[in-house]
Structures are given as structure tokens and as C-alpha cells.
Amino acid sequence: MSTTQRAVATTPTWIDDRIGAGKWLKKNLRKVFPDHWSFMLGEIALYSFILLLLTGVYLTLFYNPSMKEVVYNGSYAPLNGIKMTQAYESTLRVSFDVRGGLLVRQVHHWAALLFVAAVSVHMLRVFFTGAFRKPRELNWVIGVGLMTLAILEGFAGYSLPDDLLSGTGLRIAQGIVLAIPLVGSYVSSFLFGGEFPGTDFIPRLYSIHILLIPGILLGMLTAHLLLVWYQKHTQFPGPGRTNTNVVGYPLLPVYVAKAGGFFFIVSGIITLIAALFSINPIWQYGPYTPDQVSAGSQPDWYIGWLDGAVRVIPNWETVLWGHNISWNILLPALIIPGIMFTLLALYPWVEAKATGDKREHHLLDRPRNAPTRTGLGVMALTFYVLMWISGGNDIIAQAFSWSINSITWTIRVLLIVLPPLVFVITRRACMGLQRRDRDKLLHGRETGIIKRMPSGEYLEVHAPVSSATRAKLVASRESDYAPIEAPPAVDANGVKAPKKRRSGVKLSNFYFANRVIPPTDEEIEEGQHHAAGDLETVRPSGQITSGH
């Protein structure tokens, strides 16, 4: 026995002798994980977060979160002799006078951009496949919390270098704080240690960015992953996959290699991007001063929708008894995002109320099989993307020489008109796709073979669908629960049905409107049998040559 072989054989025993992990390992070493490309999205988020922690710690070794004024005297000649804060000066130092410092800074920033992107797309995947349904509602809520914190953490991070762009972002944030009714001026004064910009805020933001938020993120992330582990991953419908099993590759060796390897792939690609593409070149912006700004100031992409909302809102302000309520700031920066995130977090319960469904779901929906949910999701996404585009209205105006006023007005109109329209179209499209699936199950698939009947009539021959396709198509039955039945308006004893129950029925009818009912097994058998018979008459062997 070689040393390696001996190590492999004795490691599990060594661990078991000390912490008695035998039982747990026995169950989990070969734990099954279902495979699908979209399950990688959450992994990308996780790995960019790990990369953020590692590069972040490195950056703290050089960055100095102080707003004390110094005169720059370093390798970047254009800024020599210019007064700036130590925060900005130390960011320049790590970029120009620390070997590899710029690379780590760029990896940190690119990883942050990718982190929020991966979190967002992962959330879309979970939403559109219905992975948030019972028993995973809690993990959905944790996920919404993680996304909110990720956005805040990103904003805090790019505000730290105290360059002209980040300072402008902070000025806007302070303006938003000021708009909070009743306490705005006080909150702002406490946050900034007096007036804006003061000298306290960056050191305070620093401890929030490197300790408070990452600490909470790490805790919630751990809970998120533990729940995925414990509840086992969902899977897409397919042959052999049921709601009560989980089909896939074992943790050891396949997932250790694939997931472990994927960490290195994600890190490697981020590093290669950081090697080639500059991000947040703070030396070009110059130090922050509250009386200067550069045109075309754009925040990082994930703040874009908020900035866009602030741009697109009409200038509503109410002055009542000497007090200002700035709707033009409160609505886009606090109220609308607040409503959006609350609805997002509560969605699993809203849907469960509409479906009246209390079962566990481990098989994922294909988006077409939940037309209302898919429609709502695409509607919300349209709203988001429009606001995001609005955040770049100045860039668009410049690029296409359009009037910024007409762009803003167009987006205002679209924000109201487009989302409901998109909802209707998406829901219709989903139902169309469902009908096509139903046809396939009932009549088989089209073969492209045309048969001429003795009567001279032409018919197209259909063939039975493969068992894999069939397994995929009949999965729509899983989410096909009927709408809640309306209680009689007045029951036998003459008691009126409670209003609450009637509203539940309304919601349910909305959710299930124009439902496409999937065929039963008997109907499918009959249909597939027909198709098979159809085929026999053309090609007695039952073989169809592929190609034309």
C-alpha cells in the first residue's frame, strides 16, 4: 500500500475516531446533486463572494480610511502636489506603488459587479422555475435579504476611495437621507458627524463595509447553503425524476471536482478580466470636492435602476405648514424600491394563496407551465430594465443625439404602459407553448412525412414522442392544481361568505385564468397509440431516417 492509498483509507477513520462523524459522512459523502447549467448561477455568486473576502482583506492592508488632508507625492505624476484625503491617497498608492495592488483592486471590483449580477440572475432562475415554493420559502426570503445587502455592500465599497465619482454618489445618498420626513436632517447630521461631507463618514462606512455587512452576509449565506444542503436541491423534470427523489451525480467525486473546479474557473476568469480591462480608474476622476463633478457620472450597474428611477420621476414636492415632503426623492429612492423588495420577499405566500397549494415541490416548473407567474416576473423585469435604461438617459441622449427630455418622457410613458402589456403577451405566449406541448402529447410529434390517402387527401404523419420528452412534457401536471372554488355567496344557514375568502377566490381565478389543462395518461396513451399506428402505415419498420 502506498502512502497515498493509506491516507485515503485511514482519513475517514481518523476523523470518525475524533468527532464521530461516521454517520454523517456515510450519508453525505455520496450526497446526490442534480445537474443543470442554471444551477451554476448560485455557485458563481458564492465563488465571487469568496474572492471578494480574500481580495478585500488584502486591500485593507493598504487602504487608510481617513479624511485627513494630505498632499499627494507618488508614482502617478498628474496628481502630484494635489491636496486629497488619505483615503484617496492610499487608494492611489495601492494602485500605483504596490506591485499587484491594482490587480487585486480590479479583481475586487469586477468580482463585486459579477457577484450582484450572479445573485440577480440566480434569483430570476429560482423565481421562474418556482423553486421558491414550499418547503423553500424561507430560503427565498434569505435570498432576497442577501441581494439587498449585496447591493448596499457594493455601494458602500465603491464609495470608499473618496474620488470625485464616489463622493458624488455619497452626496446623492445624503440628499436622499435629507428627504426622509421628520428625521432626515437629524439622521444626516448623525451619519456624517455634522454637515456634508465632514470628516467622519468614510471611516464609519469603512467599518460597515468590511465588518458589519460582510458579517451579516456571511451568516445569511451559510444559512442559505445549509438549507439547500438539508432540503436537497430541486431538479428539473425528466426520465426517472420524481417529486420524491433526487437524481444526479454524487458529491464525491463528481461534485467535489466540478464545484471545486468551478471556483477556480470563476476566480480565473475574473482575474483575467481584471488583467485586461480597467475598472473604476479613480486616478482619472481626481479627489472629491463638493463643488466639482464630471459629466456622465454613472454608478455601478446595480445602482443604475435606482438612479434611473430618481431621474425619471416628475418634480413633485409638497410643502405643508412649513415642512417639505419631497415625493420626487422619496418615491423613487425609498418607497418604490421598498415596495418592490417587500413584494419580492412575500411572493411565495401570494402565489400559495392563489393556488391554495400546500404540497411540497421538489420538481421545478418549466416557466411556460406557470403562465401567470412567468408573466408577473417578466412584467417586473420590464419595469426594472426600463428604470435601468433611464439611469443612462444622458449617455443615450449623447450617443444618439436625442433630446434628453423626450427620452425621459418616453420612459415615463413606457413605465406605465409596457409592463402590463408585457404581462399579457408573456402569459399568452406561455399558454401557446403549453397548448403545443399538449398537442405533442395527444397527437405525437410532427415527422414532416406527408401521406396521400386513397381519396386523394394529404395527411401529415405524427410519431410518438420519446420517453424523455414525454417525462418532460407531462411534468406540467405537477403544478396544475385547480383554482380555489368559490364558496356560495350565502351558505345553507343564510350566513354570508367572509370577504377574505371571496378575495382569495378572485386571486385564484386571476392566477388560473384560461388554464390549459394537461392531458391524462389515458388520453396520452390513446394519442401516442394513434401516432404509432400512423407511422406503421408509412414505414412498417417504425424507423424514420433523420435528415431530409
Which residues in the 460-489 window bind another protein by CB under 8 A? 467-468, 470-471, 474-475, 477-478, 480-482
d(Cα 180, Cα 326) in Å, to the nearest integer?
A: 8
Residue 349 touches another protein, criterion: CB under 8 A: no
- Any contact of residue 504 with another protein (CB under 8 A)? no
**Considering only residues 293-322, where is the footprint of another protein by CB under 8 A?**
293-297, 307, 310-317, 319, 322
CA–CA gap between residue 234 and residue 243 (Å, rounded)? 9
Cβ proximity to another protein: between 120 and 444 the closer is 444
CA distance 45 to 111: 9
The single residue among 82, 117, 152, 191 that binds another protein, judged by CB under 8 A, is 191
**Exposure string over 437-447, b if 16+ CB within 10 A, otherwise e:** bbebbbbbeeb
- Return d(Cα 296, Cα 261) in angstroms, integer: 40
Report if residue 393 touches another protein, rule: CB under 8 A.
Answer: yes
Q: Does 354 bind another protein (CB under 8 A)?
A: no
CB-wise, 145 or 356, nearer to another protein?
356
Q: Which of 120/479 has CB closer to another protein?
A: 479
Task: Identify residues 81-100 at the interface with another protein (CB under 8 A).
Answer: 96-97, 99-100
Longest dimension (CA), the chain: 96
CB of 439 to another protein, least distance (A): 19
Nearer to another protein, 18 or 323 (CB): 323
Q: Which stretch binds another protein (CB under 8 A): 56-64, 353-361, 422-430, 495-503?
A: 353-361
Residue 431: closest CA among 516, 358, 511, 504 = 516
Site for another protein in 62-81 (CB under 8 A): 67, 69, 75
Binding-site member from 192, 305, 423, 511 for another protein (CB under 8 A):
192
| CA distance linking residue 111 with residue 47, whole number of Å | 9
What the block records as the C-alpha cell of 165 is 465619482
Pick from 1, 276, 489, 495 the residue near another protein by CB under 8 A: 276
Burial 404-429 (b: 16+ CB within 10 A, else e): eeebbebbeebbeebbeebbeebbee
The answer to whether residue 260 forms part of the interface with another protein (CB under 8 A) is yes
Cell 435528415, located at residue:
547
Q: Is 32 in the site for another protein (CB under 8 A)?
A: yes
Nearer to another protein, 392 or 426 (CB): 392
Indicate the angle between helix axes 393-400 and 371-390, nearest 10 degrees: 70
Q: How far is the CB of 90 from another protein (least distance, A)?
A: 17
Cβ-based nearer residue to another protein, 322 or 456: 322
Among 207, 289, 398, 520, binds another protein (CB under 8 A): 289
The C-alpha cell of 515 is what?
388554464
Hey, what long-range contacts does 229-232 have (CB within 8 A, 24 or more apart)?
A: 229/31, 231/135, 231/136, 231/139, 232/32, 232/362
- CA-to-CA dists, residue 161 to 157, 164, 271, 479, angstroms: 8, 9, 21, 50
Minimum distance, C-beta of residue 405 to another protein, in the bound complex (Å): 5
Residue 447 contacts another protein per CB under 8 A:
no
Nearest residue (CB) to another protein, 120 versus 271: 271
Ramachandran category for residue 130: left, alpha or beta (phi over 0 → left; psi -120 to 50 → alpha): left
Contact 243, 362 (CB under 8 A): yes
3-class secondary structure per residue, 459-524:
EEEEECCCHHHHHHHHHHHHHCCCCCCCCCCECCCCCECCHHHHHHHHHHHHHCCCCCCCCCHHHH
List the interface residues with another protein, window 234-253 (CB under 8 A). 237-250, 253
Does 353 bind another protein (CB under 8 A)? Our answer is no
Q: Residues 101 to 130: which contact another protein by CB under 8 A?
A: 102-103, 106
Residue at grid coordinates 406527408 = 450
From the CB of 260, what's the least distance to another protein, in Å? 6
Note whether 357 and 413 are within 8 A (CB): no
The reply on whether position 523 binds another protein by CB under 8 A is: no
Q: Name residues whose C-beta falls within 8 Å of residue 425's C-beta, 6 or more positions apart in sequence.
A: none
Using CB under 8 A, which residues numbered 373 to 392 contact another protein?
Answer: none
The residue count for binding another protein (CB under 8 A) is: 134
Work out which of 16, 121, 171, 384 binds another protein, going by CB under 8 A. Answer: 171
**Residue 361 binding another protein, by CB under 8 A:** yes
Binding segment toward another protein, per CB under 8 A, in 191-199, 381-389, 456-464, 486-494: 191-199
Which position among 181, 432, 488, 542 is part of the footprint of another protein (CB under 8 A)? 181
**Shortest distance (Å) from residue 199 CB to another protein:** 5
Residue 211 makes contact with another protein by CB under 8 A: no
Q: Which stretch binds another protein (CB under 8 A): 120-128, 287-295, 455-463, 509-517?
A: 287-295
